[in-house]
């Protein structure tokens, strides 16, 4: 269920998207220019840009590995992500595994500083990520740009000869996929509360020109008492521009939007995935499934979503309408994140009040 389609390809990123400068860790907006490609060597692009103080800086904005030895790969990754030479074990105690994803193992950890802050440490094997170099760059870049209560915070990045360590905010909870697979049947009001948080998170990400591209239950951590969520795993995320299309086929089969499969898409693909996860949370099954990926992709492109009465009889018409407005194959007609927050199923109370996204899910 969680298997990703492919890794992201940096070269297809839009030319006018604001990007984060890895070298000076500045949030200045840079007009991206195409990276020169030369087989067999590492290519870096230098760019002059203005930082937040208005000063011009010459920065390394993008590195791309085409074919490289392990050693220079590690060195260039360190340079590209601006990772210091410090040893993680001098700063953190690393504990037991708390999660395993397709690319990384996540362990609990504690800061050795006086506050002993508990953290989650996502550990990625350099050999493995050599194939997906762009994913780690995008993951770090997006997490550095994002600042939202429902998005995991990145504290620090370390690396040694064999591994990269992302020190993340620790989430006391489980991922939504495990929660459902372990047998918990979410009630509609719990799903609604999760969706209120998710849509406001995606509205925020899209407003800062980040498309997540791998929205799925496995990538959402939930506190099982309060149903507060945190979006994790930005390994397929990318900066986008409204003017350009993305082309890279990436994501996770059950959740992937039809336009992604066709190879030309924009931020709307995240909203399709939200439609899929909503259907899944309400019914316990994804709307499109098949025994092979190729049949599944055919079905996503051609088939209409079914709402069998024996499953849907006790689910509200508003919840169903919400999904119908997201699982529209024509992405231009699909509800945006902003519109979804105003949808009658999610919207509660006065527009001017700040309570809408702060509404807690009361347990009963």
Q: How many CB atoms lie within 10 A of CB 87?
A: 11
Across the strands, what pairs with 357?
none
C-beta closer to ligand ADP: residue 175 or 270: 175
| CB distance 214 to 235 below 8 Å | yes
Closer by beta carbon to ligand ADP, 226 or else 317:
226
C-alpha span between 273 and 184 (Å, rounded) = 21
For residues 95 and 284, which CB has a smaller minimum distance to ligand ADP in the complex? 95
- Asked whether residue 122 is marked as a ligand-binding residue, the answer is yes
CB 159 within 8 A of CB 74: yes
Q: Which residues have C-beta within 8 Å of that of residue 72, sequence separation ≥ 6?
A: 42
Total residues binding ligand ADP (CB under 6 A): 21
Q: Which of 22, 73, 92, 103 binds ligand ADP (CB under 6 A)?
A: 103
Q: In what order do the strands lie in the sheet with 104-111?
A: 92-100, 104-111, 118-125, 163-169, 154-159
Strands of the chain (E only): list them. Answer: 42-50, 56-65, 92-100, 104-111, 118-125, 154-159, 163-169, 174-175, 210-211, 220-222, 229-231, 238-239
- Check residue 233 for interaction with ligand ADP (CB under 6 A): yes
Which of these ranges, 231-239, 261-269, 288-296, 322-330, lies near ligand ADP under the rule CB under 6 A?
231-239
Please work out, in degrees rounded to the nearest 5, the angle formed at the alpha carbon of residue 96 by the alpha carbons of 184 and 143: 75
Q: What x-and-dash track marks residues 53-92 binding Mg ion by CB under 5 A?
A: ----------------------------------------
Which residue in the set 171, 215, 222, 231 belongs to the binding site for ligand ADP (CB under 6 A)?
A: 171
> Is there binding between residue 235 and ligand ADP (CB under 6 A)?
yes
Can residue 178 be called a binding residue for Mg ion (CB under 5 A)? no
Interaction residues for Mg ion, span 232-251 (CB under 5 A): 233
| Contact yes or no for 254/285 (Cβ under 8 A) | no
Q: Binding pattern to ligand ADP, positions 247-286, x when CB under 6 A?
A: ----------------------------------------
Q: Which partner in ligand ADP, Mg ion, none is near 318 (CB below 5 to 8 A by kind)?
A: none
Q: Which is nearer to ligand ADP, 98 or 180 (by Cβ)?
A: 98
**Known catalytic residue: 214?**
yes
Catalytic residue among 175, 214, 218, 233: 214
**How far apart are the C-alpha atoms of 150 and 206, rounded to whole Å?**
14
Confirm if 231 and 152 have CB atoms less than 8 A apart. Answer: yes
Q: Supply the residues annotated as catalytic.
A: 214
- Which residues bind to ligand ADP, rule: CB under 6 A? 98-99, 101-104, 106, 120, 122, 152, 168-171, 175, 218-219, 221, 232-233, 235
């Amino acid at each position: 269920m969680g298997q990703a389609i492919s890794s992201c390809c940096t070269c297809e990123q839009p030319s006018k998207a604001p990007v984060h400068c890895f070298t000076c860790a500045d949030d200045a907006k840079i007009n991206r220019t195409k990276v020169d490609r030369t087989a067999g060597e590492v290519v870096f692009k230098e760019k002059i840009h203005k930082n937040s103080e208005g000063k011009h800086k010459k920065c390394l904005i993008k590195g791309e590995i085409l074919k490289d030895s392990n050693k220079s790969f590690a060195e260039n990754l360190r340079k590209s992500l601006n990772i210091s030479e410090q040893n993680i074990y001098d700063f953190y105690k690393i504990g037991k595994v708390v999660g395993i994803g397709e690319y990384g193992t996540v362990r609990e950890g504690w800061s050795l500083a006086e506050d002993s802050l508990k953290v989650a440490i996502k550990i990625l094997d350099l050999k493995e990520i050599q194939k997906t170099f762009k994913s780690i760059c995008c993951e770090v870049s997006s997490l550095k740009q994002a600042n939202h209560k429902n998005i995991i915070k990145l504290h620090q990045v370390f690396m040694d000869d064999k591994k990269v360590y992302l020190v993340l905010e620790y989430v006391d909870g489980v991922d939504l996929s495990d929660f459902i697979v372990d047998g918990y049947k979410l009630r509609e009001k719990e799903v609604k509360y999760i969706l209120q948080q998710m849509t406001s998170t995606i509205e925020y990400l899209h407003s800062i020109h980040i498309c997540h591209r791998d929205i799925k239950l496995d990538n959402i951590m939930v506190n099982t008492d309060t149903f507060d969520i945190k979006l994790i795993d930005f390994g397929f995320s990318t900066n986008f521009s409204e003017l350009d299309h993305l082309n890279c086929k990436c994501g996770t089969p059950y959740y992937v939007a039809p336009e992604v499969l066709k190879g030309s898409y924009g931020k709307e693909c995240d909203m399709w995935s939200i439609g899929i996860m909503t259907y899944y949370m309400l019914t316990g099954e994804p709307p499109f499934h098949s025994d092979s990926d190729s049949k599944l992709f055919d079905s996503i492109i051609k088939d209409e979503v079914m709402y069998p009465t024996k499953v849907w009889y006790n689910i509200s018409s508003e919840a169903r309408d919400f999904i119908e407005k997201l699982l529209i194959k024509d992405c231009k007609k699909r509800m945006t994140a902003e519109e979804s927050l105003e949808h009658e199923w999610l919207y509660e109370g006065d527009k001017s009040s700040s309570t809408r996204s702060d509404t807690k899910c009361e347990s009963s």
